């Protein structure tokens, strides 16, 4: 379709060219008279009458060219101000030639008068809107000299759109997009440091985790995440994060040693056990922390209450799957007394529970597929990591909802005077 459009446009221009040529040929066939006969009638070429005197004044075009040439000489000599003046004169005599505006803009740029230069480049664009070079030039000033990267990006993009084969504009566009991306990351890094200094560790932790999702090989972020976690007394997760930091940058070994040798380190297991005693949710939270740190602490859950804890460092994604494996809650429903099974509130909650289990199963399945995909390196742009984070968040949301639903089911037991099973 697009080829057809272009072909039609090209044919149109060819037709215009053809008509233009015909007119030219006609003009040659009937040349202008260039002499006058004695009787006053016009004549051509070798007429017999006296020729008209032709002392023509210098045309504006010629004057402008003269100023342009002078300006070019000044430019070569590095005299930007004089060149600017000459180019201005050239424009005065021939304002419709874009090249003069381009040269003037360039001289203004050389003198550091960037906003004026941009205005001149814009005038050039008004005369030649298809010329990608001028768009690129404005982008360069905005990027290099004025630090207005977001605006520069728009001009580079405009240049690229006008001429997709302009490799300079394309490379500038890529560079600008990358730099802006980096700037966001740098700002996040600094913001997280500020939060750490203010003692807002939870917020800082969240930022470090985001930073690591953006760049999992950022040793500094791993180290700072470790420090933030240690500051919250979460020693296991802190150690895991610092191990990552050391792996990426061995100079972090000192930090890791401090964490490991810390007197608090010995309390880490106790901390975990205590959380375990309090119930599955607390343990889950701890496990999440450890796994988010990509140390992938491997925990073996048994169905009823997690008596065994085995912790090892591994990047095996199956640990994540094991962590998110669905927990059987059907005992609350299938083992309910017959009277309760007729209780409308219970029926409703049981239905809801079934829906949640289905959602959970699907989400678990999706996570498993994603992790397999990630392990096989199928995805090029890193969306898998984002999707994994998203699926984990979703699973947590469903789990929370399911837990809440279970509490409601237990309440329905109490409503009818039964004791809910543990």
User: Applying CB under 8 A, which residues contact other proteins?
Assistant: 2-3, 6-8, 10-11, 14-15, 18, 157, 160, 164, 170, 173-174, 177-178, 180-181, 184-185, 188, 210, 213-214, 356, 359, 362-363, 365-366, 369-370, 373, 379-383, 386-387, 390-391, 393-394, 396-398, 400-401, 404
Give the integer Cα–Cα distance in Å for 213 and 113: 42
Nearer to other proteins, 11 or 305 (CB): 11
Nearer to other proteins, 184 or 269 (CB): 184
Give the integer Cα–Cα distance in Å for 70 and 242: 66
Question: Please, are residues 146 and 178 in contact by the beta-carbon 8 Å criterion?
Answer: no
Taking only Cα atoms into account, the Rg of the chain, rounded to an integer number of angstroms, comes to 38
- The nearest distance, CB 170 to other proteins, in angstroms, is 6
Nearer to other proteins, 189 or 313 (CB): 189
- The nearest distance, CB 344 to other proteins, in angstroms, is 22
- The nearest distance, CB 46 to other proteins, in angstroms, is 32
- The nearest distance, CB 289 to other proteins, in angstroms, is 18
Nearer to other proteins, 18 or 44 (CB): 18
Nearer to other proteins, 178 or 342 (CB): 178
Q: Which helix (H) or strand (E) holds 351?
A: helix 344-376
Report the 3 state secondary structure along 296-313: CCCCCCCCCCCCCCCCCC
Nearer to other proteins, 43 or 364 (CB): 364
- The nearest distance, CB 96 to other proteins, in angstroms, is 27
Give the integer Cα–Cα distance in Å for 202 and 415: 39
- The nearest distance, CB 403 to other proteins, in angstroms, is 9
Question: Please, are residues 252 and 246 in contact by the beta-carbon 8 Å criterion?
Answer: yes
- Count CA atoms closer than 13 A to 281's CA, side-chain side: 8
Question: Please, are residues 75 and 67 in contact by the beta-carbon 8 Å criterion?
Answer: no
Question: Please, are residues 134 and 102 in contact by the beta-carbon 8 Å criterion?
Answer: yes
């Amino acid at each position: 379709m697009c080829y057809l459009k272009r072909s039609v446009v090209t044919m149109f221009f060819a037709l215009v060219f053809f008509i233009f040529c015909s007119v030219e040929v006609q003009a040659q066939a009937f040349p202008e008279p260039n002499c006058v006969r004695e009787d006053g009638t016009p004549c051509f070429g070798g007429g017999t009458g006296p020729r008209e005197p032709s002392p023509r004044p210098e045309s504006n075009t010629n004057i402008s060219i003269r100023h342009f040439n002078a300006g070019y000489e000044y430019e070569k000599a590095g005299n930007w101000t004089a060149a600017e003046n000459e180019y201005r004169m050239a424009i005065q005599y021939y304002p419709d030639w874009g090249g003069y505006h381009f040269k003037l803009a360039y001289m203004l740029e050389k003198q550091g008068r960037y906003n004026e230069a941009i205005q001149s480049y814009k005038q050039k664009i008004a005369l030649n809107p298809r010329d990608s070079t001028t768009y690129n030039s404005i982008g360069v000033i905005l990027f290099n000299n004025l630090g207005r990267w977001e605006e520069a990006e728009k001009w580079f993009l405009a240049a690229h759109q006008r001429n997709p084969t302009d490799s300079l504009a394309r490379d500038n566009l890529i560079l600008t997009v990358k730099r802006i991306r980096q700037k966001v990351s740098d700002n996040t890094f600094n913001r997280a440091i500020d939060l750490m200094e203010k003692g807002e560790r939870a917020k800082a932790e969240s930022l470090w985790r985001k930073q690591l999702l953006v760049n999992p090989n950022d040793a500094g972020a791993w180290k700072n995440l470790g420090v933030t976690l240690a500051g919250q007394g979460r020693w296991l997760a802190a150690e895991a994060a610092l191990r990552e930091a050391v792996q990426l940058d061995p100079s972090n070994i000192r930090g890791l040693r401090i964490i490991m040798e810390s007197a608090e380190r010995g309390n880490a297991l106790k901390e975990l056990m205590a959380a375990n005693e309090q119930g599955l949710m607390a343990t889950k939270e701890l496990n999440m922390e450890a796994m988010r740190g990509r140390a992938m602490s491997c925990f073996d859950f048994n169905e009823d209450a997690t008596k065994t804890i085995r912790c090892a460092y591994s990047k095996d994604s199956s640990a994540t799957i094991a962590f998110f494996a669905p927990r059987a809650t059907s005992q609350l429903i299938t083992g309910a007394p017959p009277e309760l099974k007729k209780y409308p509130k219970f029926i409703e909650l049981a239905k809801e529970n079934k829906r949640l289990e289905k959602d959970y199963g699907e989400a678990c399945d999706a996570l498993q597929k994603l992790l397999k995909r990630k392990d096989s390196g199928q995805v090029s742009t890193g969306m898998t990591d984002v999707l994994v984070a998203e699926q984990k968040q979703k699973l947590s949301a469903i789990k929370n909802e399911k837990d809440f639903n279970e509490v409601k089911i237990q309440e329905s037991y109490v409503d009818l005077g039964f004791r809910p099973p543990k």
